[in-house]
Each structure stands twice: as structure tokens, then as C-alpha cells.
Chain A
């Protein structure tokens, strides 16, 4: 019998039953919820008069629709306030743990679950949010679901699913100076496109991912959905175990040893087969920027926008105000956003602070820093990074999804460019008419200081 992949092992361990000529019933270990995609699911249960099956396997937070200033004050926007109130009521009614606004564990759902040790290898995890793929960094099957599926998990702790195909993306070699995990994933998506992963679950393999921190792995897995893959996974190893050990919900004592022994059985067998494979050389990757309106439209910062006949490219460039064949170096930028479930962890702020230290942001730049969680915000202060940023003129805000999707007041004005560490450069994503350029925290920090896009590799040598 052929060997199994990491994905096979975790998936097969969670099959409850198989419908004849149909999908499988997959058991879900952890269900994360937030205010935006859960209210209609709770309403669905109420209409049918059924209870939440396993409230103790659900963790709730408020993140998408929360303000990032004055969180202690009542929320101004009536609809937002109502949505958060609804979440609180629903959690109280069904006995679900909620880390609401102001709680010491509050933050972006994909930042808090790993930092609390909720996310563990070998689990199945879901959330009504496509960036649930983030948790795959731990060797977890984690994926985004729609609200109907949120209701299904509430009702049964299971989902009806057809097993996706298997994709492996391998990157080996040595990364150049200034190339961060964000650049690696933006590079991969720029090479294979935004739908190469559709229908697949992806495993990232190779020494580049093995050498990454958990924060870096989360950045990579986070953006799996941007190439269409429902999720992305990285085999658990010592880096994974030492990240989890000692965290609030991490297994303790004998249970820890038992779990680690199990986790060590999860990596893909040497003779396992994938349905599709891609290989990349780390040396080919450079700091990346996007020029268009989907995450696949990325180039090396030293590169040029493609010059080809293509209606979709033209539509994108018209929106972005760029020309074919142009370089982005030297473009004046008025907004910089460091945050989102992609890049708002402590390591991201350390990288930005390291560049910013002793410098000043350019006078015309609005630089917003939004930590992923209260815990990250606390750590920023403990490490003194808050001083570095504040002295440099950056605005340090409170945790939340913020300008990644501009559901709250953190919007980029029409026509303005924003160099953003978030995950999507769709039209209007950061505000109506806003123009997003996706990049790493290092590129974002450098843009804030210089007031324009620079080739970071030149200033690092």
C-alpha cells in the first residue's frame, strides 16, 4: 500500500462515515467563530429548535467588525454594536467561551487560537473565514466554511465533505537577505496563479518551510486560499512542539507526551503520492509587491508590470492607476498598514521595528500598526517596540482585522495607495476605491520610512 500524506493521515482519522456515492462525514475538533459569519447560523438552529452539540469545542472572538481605537467606549456604529451584542448573547445562551472586546485574549481569530494553544497538530479546525487555512502551519486540517456549514457544525460537530485532492509545493535552497515568508507565498501565488490550488489541500515542504518560525509558517498557510486551496499544511516538528508547549490550552504532563508521540507520526510518508506538485528554488525569490487586483498579480520589487494584451490585466491596471511595463520603485505611498491575520504577530512587528528603529516615518505617510491580539499588543510593550514605533511617528492601534477588510472605520480613502501586509488586494477591499499593494512587514516598514516604494535589498547590503 502506498504511503499516506500528512493530509491523508489527519483526514482519515476524522472520518465518521461515508455517504454511499456521496461525501464523507468529517468530525471537527475545534470550531472558531466570530461576529460576522455566526449570527445567521445561530438563527438557523433556533428556527429548527436544535441545540449546539458541543459548545466546549467552540471558541469565539470579536475581530472583524471591532474598532481599533477607544475599545473601552461604546461602539458608535449601530449595526456593528448590534452584531457584537448578538455574538455575546448567542455565546451566553449556548455556553460558548467568548474572548470579546476588551478581554485579555481578544484578537483576530487566527492569531488568538494558536497563541492560546487551541490550535494543535492532527486536529480538524473550521471557522467561517477563508483564512482559517492559517492553522495548517501546525499540521492541522483547517479551512474556511460558509455560514450554512457553521450551522452544520453547531448542530452536529461534523461536516459533509468530499475529500480534496493533494497538492505539494516544495521550496528548497537558501532565501536571500530581506526575503520573508510573505514574499515566499506571494512569489508562489504569482507563479502558479489564484486558482491553481482550487479543489486541493496543499502541503508546503522543503527546507525553507522547515527553517521558518511558526509565525512565518502561519503567514504562508494563511494565504493558501489566495491560490484557491482550501487549506495549506506544514508537517509538525520540534519548532511546532516548542511553540505549543506551555500555552494555555496545550496538553500537559502525561497527555503532552502522548500527544507529541502521536504528532510525530503525522508527517507525510516518503512513498506517499500527491495529485500535483510544484518545485521552486529559494534563490529565485525576492521581496515581492503586487501591482493588480488579485494576489496572483505580484512581481519582484525590482521587476516590472507585465506588458501583454490581456483584458483582465488592463481592467486591473486601470483600477490601480498603473501602466504596463512600469516599475513600482519610487511610487509615492500615503498609507501603510501592518496588521491582519497574515502579518500581525510579534515576529512581524519585531522585523518592522528593527528597520524603523532610529528612523522617522515620511511626513506624508499614515502608518497604521494593528497588532493581531491583546497578547501581541502586550508583548510589543514588554519588548519596548511600542516606543520604537511611536518615536518614529507610527500610529499603534488596538487589535482587530481593521484595514484588511475595512469593515470598521479603518478605511483607505478612494484612489490612495496602501502598502499593506494583509492578504487581499481586491478592488475596494481596504475601502471603496482604495488601491492595495501587498507586501511583507519589512517592505511595509521601509515604505513608511521612505514615503515611497524602494528596493529593500539595496538598503540591506
Chain B
């Protein structure tokens, strides 16, 4: 996993609430057996019209907006557990998603793929979306070590599980940690009162 410490970049505004993982990556693209290529189909049915042409109204098709930070409406990533959604966002080049609320499974999947979910207050999100919409050159700083988001809207701290923070900063993942606990796990299995 790639390390993440701090970045200052432009952002893409997507002010839609309850963006579910079916929108991030529709089910018909889940037939692959590797993690490659999902970025091409991120938000597929919003990016393209029925006839396959680009939907000019969708923000990812507007050249004015770019950057590795996606700023999206409340309850981002609800629905299916498909990690393909995180692979699609990462594949497209997003490193951070800012929202006022994240669905649980998506949040975990994002962190396991080097995408940082940054939860801000509803008011902050509203102002940030407005500011970026009006000025696509707006820079946003995400500092993971300090757990702070900074922009012309103001500064706000965000929460992250301390263990996950260490993982993100160092590029570690859970498998390494769990494998290091093999003996403890085996002891647990032997000593269980009710075995399965």
C-alpha cells in the first residue's frame, strides 16, 4: 500500500448525497478477477450518456475540475460491500474523499487501499463544495499526521482510527499485522470453551 502523509491539491466537487457503490462502479463491471482497470469505469453511468457519449454536465467531464481529492455529499459509499468501488476511485487517481458522513464498509475498504476518508461537518462540506464550484483552482490541504483539513473555508480536524493512521502513514496493511499474531490466534482456538 502507498504511504500517505500530507497533500495540497485541487479537488473535484460532487454535491450528491447517498452516493452508493453501485454508482461508483456498476455491477456489470465486477466480472474481473484482478484489481486493474476499474478506474476507467468509475461513475460510469453518470459520466456517459445512453448513446455512449460523454455527459458534459458531469463534473469529471468538466476540464475545469481536477485533482486527487473528491468532495462528495453526505453518506458517501453506502450500499454494496464491493471493494471494486475503492479500486475504481484509486484507479482514477483519487487519494482522498471528503464528505460529512461515510458508510462503514466503504470507509474500511478505502483505508485498505490507501484512500483517506476525511469526515467534516455538514457546514464545512457545504462551504467547501460551494468554494470549489466557484473557483476550481481552490487548493485543499490534507494533513494526516496532524489530522487536519485546511482550505480557504477554514481549518478543521478529522478523526481516524489511530491504528489505521499508522498503517496509512507507513503503508502497512492488516495482513502483516494479523500474521504476526499467529500464535495468539492458535492459542485462542485451542482454549475456546465452545468450539465451532
Report which B residues bind A (CB closer than 8 A). Answer: 16-18, 20, 22-23, 26-28, 30-35, 45, 50, 73-75, 78-84, 86, 101-105, 108-109, 112-113, 161-163, 173-175, 177-179, 181-182, 184-185, 188-189, 194, 196
Contacts and interface: CB of A to CB of B under 8 A. Distances in A.
Interface stretch (A35-43, A99-107, A341-349, A385-393): A35-43
Contact of A16 (B162, B173, B188): B188
A17 B181 contact: yes
A65 B105 contact: no
A27 B193 CA distance: 14
A44 B34 CA distance: 10
Contacts of B102: 198
Interface residues of A, number: 75
B178 A144 contact: no
A327 interface: no
A397 B28 CA distance: 20
A406 interface: yes
Contact of B108 (A22, A149, A432): A149
Interface in A120-157: 120, 122-123, 128-130, 132, 144-149, 151-152, 155-157
B88 to A, nearest CB: 13
5 contacts: A21-B163, A57-B196, A148-B113, A262-B194, A312-B17
B33 A50 contact: no
A77 B31 CA distance: 10
A152 B172 CA distance: 13
A160 B161 CA distance: 12
Given A144-B81, A312-B16, A195 B103 contact: yes
B31 A80 contact: yes
Contacts of B78: 194-195, 228, 294
A129 B81 contact: yes
The 3 lowest CB-CB distance pairs between A and B, nearest first, are A22-B163, A79-B31, A148-B112
A294 B20 contact: yes
Contacts of B32: 79, 83
A407 B27 CA distance: 5
A285 interface: no
A39 B110 CA distance: 19
Contact of A433 (B50, B162, B163, B184): B50
A130 B105 contact: yes
Interface string A152-177: 10011111101010000000000000
Given A130-B105, A198-B104, A427 B175 contact: no
A27 B184 CA distance: 11
B28 to A, nearest CB: 6
Contacts of A405: 22, 27, 80
A225 B50 CA distance: 30
A23 interface: yes
Nearest to A428: B45
B108 A427 contact: no
Contacts of A57: 196
Contacts of B184: 16-17, 25
Chain A CB within 10 Å — which of B17, B35, B196 has the most? B196
A43 B27 contact: no
B31 A83 contact: yes
A144 B18 contact: no
B80 A86 contact: no
B82 A40 contact: no
A274 to B, nearest CB: 18
Nearest to B102: A198
Given A23-B161, A148-B83, A414-B50, A427 B23 contact: yes
Contacts of B45: 427-428, 432
Given A25-B185, A27-B185, 17 more contacts: A16-B181, A22-B163, A36-B82, A50-B175, A57-B196, A120-B196, A130-B105, A148-B83, A149-B174, A194-B18, A225-B79, A294-B78, A407-B28, A424-B22, A424-B80, A426-B23, A428-B23
Contacts of B17: 312
A157 B75 CA distance: 30
Contacts of A206: none
B23 A195 contact: no
B86 A146 contact: yes
Contacts of A151: 175
A424 B79 contact: yes
B175 A44 contact: yes
Nearest to A126: B81
Interface in A180-196: 194-195
A110 interface: no
A122 B181 CA distance: 24
Nearest to A124: B196
Chain A CB within 10 Å — which of B33, B185, B194 has the most? B33
B93 to A, nearest CB: 20
B162 A22 contact: yes
Contacts of B185: 16, 25, 27, 156-158
A141 to B, nearest CB: 12
A411 to B, nearest CB: 8
Contacts of A128: 81, 83
Chain B CB within 10 Å — which of A22, A82, A144 has the most? A22
A72 interface: no
Contacts of B28: 406-407
A86 B194 contact: no
Contacts of A315: 16
Contacts of A30: 196
A165 B196 CA distance: 26
Contact of B173 (A13, A122, A148): A148
